[in-house]
Amino acid sequence: MRITRVLSTTLLMLGQAVAPAVADTSPSPSASEDGGAPTQAGTSFRTATEIGQGQTATASASTGDYLYWSFPADAGRRPTVKATVKLPDTHAAETWQIDVYDGLRRRQACQYAAQTRTAAANASTVELACVLRTVRGWSEPWANDPLPGTYYIRLSVVDVPTSDLGLPVGAEVRVDSKDIGGSAAVDGALAEPLVPGVAVKSQDDEEDSSASAVLSGIEPEDGWASGWWSDRWVWTAIGGALAALAGVGGYTLTRGPGRPSRVPPGA
């Protein structure tokens, strides 16, 4: 009976500890307003337009242009990139594609979703999506695993008749991510996130030799390396506590009722 009370009390205390921990690892709500969302896209990796997760970025371009955006992704998250291309009223069949690259400009494969789609002639829009693999905190140098840092989105048309080149199009891009939790945790972490390149600086800044390089300004809302904590720690603690209680309970049951260890002299 005593073992049962101790077990119940311990589980209650662990449950109260788990609740705030799980709440802390849940993704923060996306911004409801996109007043500060970008309205243009870059034309290369170096000039990629920075967007935050939960923002819907828009851009106007011409068929045949390469459009680039960049966003931050931290360990333990599974990003999802969605793009919508608004096509002109009259056009032939066109095939559009989104590609996602990590901070080392390595192309990352999509787990699922339609990253390439063909729009029928005179279709008004075409929708694309790419669900990436879960971002890892650490990886072997030879592996192509997604790592924390800046990611690049490239939207382009890969099959279009020459007659349609230059026609105006509109693009919308949005990035969201899901917190995968302890199942994606690894025993290691990068010293620094993969945030490459130097931000474009004005001519005055370039002439100032004392000015230091400015890295990309985008990062997760709670900062880099926010994924060091995972629910794996919680379940490890629960498993350890249950194992200790099981050991105490087993010892108590096998020992039997209390009795003197030896018979007193003269008994």
Q: How confident is the model at residue 208 (pLDDT cuts 50, 70, 90)?
A: very low
pLDDT score, position 181: 66
Domain-embedded: residue 157? yes
Is the CB of residue 51 less than 8 Å from the CB of residue 150?
A: no
Q: Where are the alpha helices (DSSP H) in the chain?
A: 2-25, 203-207, 231-255
pLDDT for 61-117, tens place per residue?
A: 999 999 999 999 888 889 999 999 999 999 999 999 999 999 889 999 999 999 999
More confident residue, 40 or 26: 40
Structural domain for 100, as ranges: 29-221
What are the structure tokens assigned to 215, written together? 């890295």
Domain-embedded: residue 173? yes
pLDDT at 18 over 90: no
Q: How confident is the model at residue 256 (pLDDT cuts 50, 70, 90)?
A: low
pLDDT score, position 250: 78
Domain-embedded: residue 217? yes
In terms of residues, how long is the chain?
Answer: 267
Domain-embedded: residue 171? yes
pLDDT score, position 265: 63
CB burial class (10 A; 0-12, 13-18, 19+) of residue 253?
A: exposed
Q: Which amino acid is at 230?
A: S
Is the CB of residue 72 less than 8 Å from the CB of residue 60?
A: no
Q: How confident is the model at residue 245 (pLDDT cuts 50, 70, 90)?
A: confident
Average pLDDT over residues 45-65: 93
Percent residues over pLDDT 70 in the chain: 63
| Rounded Cα–Cα distance for residues 129 and 118 (Å) | 13
Domain-embedded: residue 189? yes
CATH number of the domain to which 130 belongs: 2.60.120.380
For the chain, how many structural domains are there in total? 1
pLDDT score, position 217: 60
pLDDT score, position 136: 84
Residue 206 CB: number of other CB atoms within 10 A? 10
Domain-embedded: residue 236? no
Of 70, 78, 29, 81, give the one whose Cα is nearest residue 222: 29
pLDDT for 103-155, tens place per residue?
A: 889 999 999 999 999 999 999 999 999 999 998 887 777 888 888 899 999 99
pLDDT at 59 over 70: yes
More confident residue, 207 or 129: 129
Residue 207, helix vs strand vs coil: helix
Domain-embedded: residue 10? no
Please tell me what DSSP assigns to residue 1. -
pLDDT score, position 64: 94
Q: How confident is the model at residue 249 (pLDDT cuts 50, 70, 90)?
A: confident
Of 16, 195, 42, give the one whose Cα is nearest residue 105: 195
Domain-embedded: residue 114? yes
